[in-house]
Amino acid sequence: MAQIIDGKGLAQQIQHELSKKVQLLKSQHGVVPGLVVILVGDNPASQVYVRNKERSALAAGFLSETVRLPESTTEEALLNVVKKYNQDDRFHGILVQLPLPEHINEQNVLLAINPEKDVDGFHPTNMGNLWSGNRVMVPCTPAGIMKMLEAYQVEIEGKTAVVIGRSNIVGKPMAHLLIEQNATVTLTHSKTQNLPEVCQTADILVVAIGRGHFVTKDFVKPGAVVIDVGMNRDENGKLIGDVKFDEVAEIASLITPVPGGVGPMTITMLLEQTYKAALRSSSSKEE
């Protein structure tokens, strides 16, 4: 039976350490890390994420602000809000909660965020830095997964890793972070042929396909480490992952639960990157 990776417990531990660093930054440099989250519309899942981010930011001693805009907000109005926070020195991190309503061009909004405040790590400048080995801001979910693997002493070097899902938010940066740690990585997706067979080669399997209970034990090599990024609702409205937890847990060596696995670590990395951005801004002021 697999050992369960306690993402929630690890997140609390890291956030506790972070709150001490925040106090130190405040007392030594007079700087409080500031994070603003901009939410457009009333997507229920987004509402939950934003509430959790706000709660965690305040608990860690951050200056936290949430801007809630109606679904009918125009792209121009949203860009003006982003511009305002780009120019506000109290805020070191700007996060526009995705997905945005269909009438707003996501790429235009991401491009408008100052890359130095892009704590989600989605700006093309930050993506380019990541791929060229000069990372500053990294997408938070893959960063959180790497932290979990490190905390549970999972050996990555020389291992075979398979990532299911090729999104810019999880799949692609995840593959790159694993390559950086000298894993041999296969990036798969919905068009991959013989997907279960490909996944069975994995020592580390990261699943981010967005389909409830998609991965069964037929995809998993006995003893593999299985990371489930999925957040789906079943027919009863219960939160489930992309992995059929009960049957996969019988053969994996380590597995993340949903909820309580990857999600809390994503928020933790968001806070950590905001703190680092505040640290950089306090050093640049001193120079």
User: Mind telling me the catalytic residues?
Assistant: 53, 97, 120
Concatenating the DSSP letter of every residue in 121-139 gives --SHHHHHHHHTT--SS--
Closest CA to 208 of 242, 161, 180: 242
User: 244: Cβ–Cβ under 8 A, 6 or more apart, which residues?
Assistant: 213, 215, 216, 217
**259 preceded by cis ω (within 30°)?**
yes
What are the CA-CA distances from residue 173 to residues 70, 124, 212 (Å)? 31, 12, 22
Query: What letter would DSSP give residue 258?
Result: S
Annotated binding-site residue? 166: yes
**Residues of the binding site for NADP(+):** 165-167
**Residues of the binding site:** 165-167
